[in-house]
């Protein structure tokens, strides 16, 4: 057993499931104490120590912010498409 795994606070001798590893390097991205993903967690292992409620709130806020951005861009695109089609004399209504 690797010494770092024993010192890690989330290590459990009777671990179950996919997040059970003898070495920290063997943990998956989704496991507590595992390597960070490409984007999230943004602050690495330090973010893993934040309360789960705070992290959930921040992730949800970020996701809603991204959806709002997509909605604004889609609205601008549809407005531009409608003005282009009306200038060309094409009507989408029957």
If asked whether residues 64 and 90 sit together in one domain, one would say yes
User: Are residues 64 and 33 part of one domain?
Assistant: no
31 with 62, same domain: the answer is: no
Examine the domain organization and report whether 32 and 3 are in the same domain: yes
* The predicted structure's pLDDT at residue 1: 44
| Same domain as 44, residue 4 | yes
SS3 label, residue 30 = coil
- Contact between 22 and 5 under an 8 Å Cβ cutoff? The reply is yes
Residues 32 and 75 in one domain: no
The per-residue pLDDT for range 5-44, each reduced to its tens digit, is: 445 555 445 555 556 656 656 655 556 555 666 777 777 7
Cα 26 from Cα 32, distance rounded (Å): 12
Q: Are residues 66 and 32 in the same domain?
A: no
Under the banding of pLDDT at 50, 70 and 90, the label for residue 54 is: very high
Domain that holds residue 13: 1-48
Predicted TM-score (pTM) of the model is 0.53
Asked whether residue 53 carries a pLDDT value surpassing 60, the answer given is yes
| pLDDT tens digits along 60-88 | 999 999 999 999 999 999 999 988 888 88
Question: Do 32 and 56 belong together in one domain?
Answer: no
Domain count within the chain: 2
4 plus 17 within the same structural domain: yes
* Confidence band for 2, pLDDT divided at 50, 70 and 90: very low
Same domain, 39 and 60: no
Residue 5 in contact with residue 24, Cβ under 8 Å? yes
């Amino acid at each position: 057993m690797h010494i770092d795994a024993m010192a890690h606070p989330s290590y459990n001798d009777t671990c179950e499931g996919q997040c059970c590893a003898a070495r920290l390097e063997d943990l998956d991205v989704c496991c507590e104490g595992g390597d960070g993903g490409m984007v999230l967690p943004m602050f690495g292992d330090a973010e893993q120590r934040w309360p789960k409620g705070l992290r959930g709130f921040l992730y949800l806020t970020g996701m809603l912010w991204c959806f709002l951005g997509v909605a604004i861009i889609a609205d601008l695109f549809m407005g531009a498409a409608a003005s282009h089609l009306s200038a060309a004399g094409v009507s989408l209504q029957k």
